[in-house]
Structure 1
Amino acid sequence: MSTTSAERTACGWVDENAAALSRWTSEIWHKGETAWREYESAAWYVERLRAEGFEVEEGSGGMPTAFAAEWRNGDGPVIASYAEYDGVPGNCQAAATVRRPREGLTEYAGGHTDPHSALGMSAFGGVLAAKAAMEREGLKGTLKFFGEPAEKVRGSKPIHAARGYYDGLDAMISFHPCYMLPLCNTVNWDTHCGAAYAMVYRFICDEPETWLKRAEGQPIPQAHSAVRAPGANDALFAMYNSGKALRDSMLPHMGGWSISEAILTAGQATADNLPARIAEIQYIIRVPTVEMAEQATMMLDRFAAAAAQLTHCRYERIWVSKSRPGLANHVMADLVYKKLEAVGAPRWGEKAKAIAREIQANLGLEPMTEPFLPDCERLMPPEEAERILRRDLPPSQVNYTSDDYTEMCWHAPTARLYIARPMLSAPAGYAYPDWVMNALGGIPETIDPMTVCAAKTIALSILELMQNDERRLAAKREFEERTGGGIGGSQWLAPLCDYDPPVNLRWPEYVETRRGREWWMPTAGY
């Protein structure tokens, strides 16, 4: 597997600490915290990083659940990776072979889908393994490790980028569990993720009493019978339907383009004959280019203005994310894939297979001798994955799908690594329910093989970048060529973020009540 003393030390560290990585992954997974509210998860990383000798800035970039950590071992290259740890509302699943929420919660609470719990721990394990090797072998250099909240709304990385946190890096390694084929046990080649804009439109009905002139002699409106201003809920409803028209007319159903929405806040909790004073709807636009995102935003702005005028409201647009499309780096992709080849694809043992068969049986399926997709244990060369991916894309489309690691690509040579998460084979015509993937991401026997494989690959890649000046400088030269001179070059895209972190919006979260700890929708009665 490994050929140098440093590589053997790093892989040995992962093997020796595999049980701890498994335990830590499970701990983050069970927290199930969601975007901008990952308080316990971020605190866990900060405490652990400090225990490992890192200097840590908490709340980096003005984001309470972000951090920036650094460990120096003398002058040398600066290599970085990062953790994500946000889950998704409405995906609370137990680490079990049947569908059920985690104890004390409902299915509407947060849960890990990708899972970011293992994403973060894989990168953390890789960085710690590289650190152990650097200490033992006396390798000079700096490791940086970022805590990136709210990836599901592409939240933190545009802010970190705009505020200079990625400047001065020699390389960045981005990891994500496989989320679609053929991007499984491979590295992105040319087609990286696209641009994305996310925003919240807030409708406010400031003076509902001025919508109609009050009748003569009526000092107060007849509250339960008088006409009333449509108000914020009607504005939101008009905006929601207009947005659907945009989606159907502006974005054809191909090429990975999408506009998705979520209703955040309603400003009235009764059915009285009073207008809602405030309502909020969030949109995220995932498209290949910034120009397309700008066009879609322009149309949403028009819809918001019309909805507000119609309903006696005003509106505000609050930015959540403005992120750039990704930038390829073949030197980095080749370097990381060679380390993945040295480590080998993950392997699932009999305990994991028995769990997978139990899930199949509980779903009424015939358990399979080999329940996992063959792709899970097969390497896919980056150029071959690229060829398969592009079969269904128009030649003019450079970027595809969505993730905000793309921000890092414009500040340092970046590789995007994918390792197989546990995915089950299915009988012809059958689709597994979503809870199955979520559960497999939380069961140690099924998720640990991915974490170990990814941690070793990241560690070996970091060590190669630390020691191989020729390859590291070649990656930098390619970065400079693609950006027309590096940061600030003629083809470089500057950060788009011109807004403050949107942490004060009414994001779903866990709350403490007299009934105990609950999801923001009360547990009692569900």
Structure 2
Amino acid sequence: MSDAARADAFAWVEENRPHWSAWNAHIWHLAETAWREYRSAAWYAETLRAAGFTVEEGSGGMPTAFAANWSNGPGPTIMAYAEYDAVPGNCQAAVPWRQPRAGLSRFAGGHTDPHSALGIGALAGALAAQHAMRRHGIAGSIRFMGEPAEKVRGSKPIHAAKGYYDGLDAIISFHPFYMLPLCNTARWDTHCGPYWAAIYEFLCEEPETWLQDAATGAAGAPIPAAHTAARAPGANDAVVAMYTLSKMMREHMLPHTGTWTLNETILASGQATADNLAGQMAQIMFAARAPDVAMLRKIYAVLDRNAEAAAAAAHCTVKRHWVSKSKPGLANHAMAETVFRNLERAGPPRYGAEAVRVARELQKELGIAPMDDPFAPELRELVPPEEAERRLRRDLPAWQTHYTSDDYTDMTWFAPTARFYVGRAVLKAPPGFAYPEWALNALGGIPATIDPTVETAAKTVSGTIIDLLTDPAALARATAEFRHRRGQADDPHPWCDYAPPIDFPWPAYVDTPRGRQWWIPATAADRALERKT
């Protein structure tokens, strides 16, 4: 039965290509960023309800998250999920030249990985499996989760802590290829590592006490001669001081201890003016990824000290707000084998004549002689998980158990989980040449170059769901392995001990009398990039 059901699921994917291709283009063009994916989440909820799923919107207290369920009778529950957050500063039109989407600043959101294809590949796979389950009477349930803010590892630690992954029998995690050797393969032993992110909020609420008289305690009056009096450094200076101190920390710590990274972004500066008034509020977020939690604790111990020092120097108070505490991943060989068998059945992405034309036009745009075969050869190769693991380990120290970060890892502690990758359009480069980021972003939005990724992913997801529902032995092997690995862990519980960080000043689109705009308006430089087509 499983072979016939899988064939029907694959056929559904092929027959419904016009639909899921349009869906993918829609989410890609929305390009909503972390914690502000309102239209994207609403579209998923509406689409799943139309397909017969029950949908809880705002799951886990997150307005742009959802939890959807569909059942065809008693049996295992298999989960897949969508991500749909884009990245600020990467706005690109679906054209083979640099140009922001119409009417938007180039600093608006854009899909880089792209999460648009991630979500639609998983959705099309779940709907194809649903079709086959109905047609062949396969019992079981599909849970489909909406996971916002992956770029700050947002929703999954919260969903995990609030029980949304409880009771699952298996989880399928798909991501478009983003680095070699993880192209057309599945993770084996070295899964993504832990990740912490926190916002440091500086407040200068008593600037009048900056030069308070130590003997009398008297403060200078805030109004007389205020515009010529000495000014408290304030919150902006605190952020600058912490930024500088933490750059020094990175220089002295990170190069000596392996593959961990520290990144920062300044979120907000409140009520600061060019007048002689202290900036009252400013926020900076630091995000760290590391092979293990001991390293993260060291990083944040230093960050906390830096924050206190910066606050003291700038006459501020400081408070740390957690954005993410995401766990390291738990391997499952049985699941990796099952998903890779279905990836083999689906085959690698196949690029047609239109995709080749687009790729060659992009190369010409960048001054490269267009190539007869412009796509990277790795896109045609299927790499068994054990071989991908061997290649990955070549550049890692023997002690390192985890590498890179993604919050699917929080799911791996609740059910057997497979993490697989499908190639996405990447072009061959002449020696010494690197393609600009906008080029890769554009290829992720042009149907001819991104649809092959979605098709392979959808077939792989659907085939894996069917196998897990119709092969009790395969699911039992995965479950036994999961219980063994989790049982050996010292700390199997979620790390999330904070509320959803939804109320911070995350960048967002705004509706104005001039239409829908990014919070940074389009400039003359943006308009100069537009072409008449």
Q: TM above 0.5, one fold?
A: yes
- Kindly provide the CA deviation profile for residues 302-333 of structure 1, in whole angstroms up to 9, marking residues without a partner as x: 11111111111001111100000111000000
Partner of 2:386: 383
Instruction: Tell me how many residue pairs correspond in the alignment.
Output: 521
SS of structure 2 residue aligned to 1:228: coil
CA distance in 2, matches of 1:516, 1:79: 41
- Tell me, in whole angstroms, the C-alpha distance in 1 between the residues paired with 2:233 and 2:272: 16
In the other structure, the counterpart of 1:498 is 497
Asked if 2 retains the 8 angstrom alpha-carbon contact of 1:90 and 1:111, the reply is: yes
Distance 1:217 1:504, change over 3 A: closer
**Residue 3 of structure 1, CA deviation:** 6.8
Whether 1:223 and 2:222 are equivalent positions in the alignment is no
In structure 2, C-alpha distance between the alignment counterparts of 1:297 and 1:213, rounded to whole Å: 32
Equivalent positions of 1:91-490 (< 5 A) are 91-213=90-212, 220-252=223-255, 255-484=258-487
Structure 1 runs of 4+ aligned residues shifted over 6 Å read: 214-219
Per-residue displacement from partner, 1:58-83 (whole Å, max 9, x unpaired)? Answer: 00000000000000111000000100
CA deviation after TM superposition for structure 1 residue 8, in Å: 1.0
Contact kept in structure 2, 1:482 and 1:491, CA below 8 Å: no
Counterpart Cα distance in 2 of 1:28 and 1:167: 29
The 8 Å contact of residues 173 and 420 in structure 2, kept in 1 or not, is answered as yes
Asked if structure 2 preserves the Cα contact closer than 8 Å seen for 1:410 and 1:492, the reply is no
Moved more, 318-327 or 252-261: 252-261
Residue in 2 that maps onto 1:65: 64
* 2:507 counterpart SS class: coil
Aligned to 1:387, the other structure's residue is in SS state helix
**Cα deviation 1:383-439 (Å, max 9, x = unaligned):** 111111100100000000010000001111000010000000001111000001000
- Any conservation in 1 of the 2:208–2:221 contact (CA below 8 Å)? no
In 2, Cα distance between the equivalents of 1:217 and 1:292?
45
> Contact 2:209–2:220 (CA<8 Å) still a contact in 1?
no
Distance 1:218 1:66, change over 3 A: closer
> How far off its partner does 1:217 sit?
9.5
User: For the structure 1 residues 311 and 65, does the alpha-carbon distance in structure 2 shift closer, same or farther, using more than 3 Å as the test?
Assistant: same
* 2:197 and 2:325 in contact (8 A); partners too: yes
Displacement of 1:523 in angstroms is 2.5
Report the AA paired with residue 432 of structure 2: G
CA–CA distance in structure 2, aligned partners of residues 521 and 379 of structure 1: 42
Aligned residue in 2 for 1:54: 53
TM-aligned CA deviation for residue 346 of structure 1 = 1.1
Alignment partner, residue 514 of structure 1: 513
Q: Whole-Å Cα distance in 1 between the matches of residues 398 and 207 of structure 2? A: 52
Q: Which amino acid aligns with 1:162?
A: A
- In the alignment, the residues of structure 2 paired with residue 286 and residue 490 of structure 1 have an alpha-carbon distance, to the nearest angstrom, of 20
C-alpha contact (below 8 Å) 1:34/1:110 kept by paired residues: yes
2:255 partner amino acid: P
TM-score by length of 1: 0.97
Supply the AA of the counterpart residue of 2:277.
L
Three-state SS of the structure 1 residue aligned to 2:135 is helix
Q: Match of 1:403, as an amino acid?
A: D
Distance 1:429 1:525 in 2: 32
Give the superposition deviation at 1:377.
1.2
Q: Which ranges in structure 2 are unaligned for 5 or more consecutive residues?
A: 526-533
Query: How far apart, in 2, do the equivalents of 1:478 and 1:381 lie?
Result: 19
- AA aligned to 1:311 is A
Task: Supply the distance in 2 between the matched residues of 1:461 and 1:237 (Cα, whole angstroms).
Answer: 50
| Equivalent position amino acid for 2:405 in 1 | S
How far 1:224 moved relative to its partner? 2.2
Match of 1:79 in 2: 78
Residue 463 of structure 1, CA deviation: 0.3
1:15 corresponds in structure 2 to 14
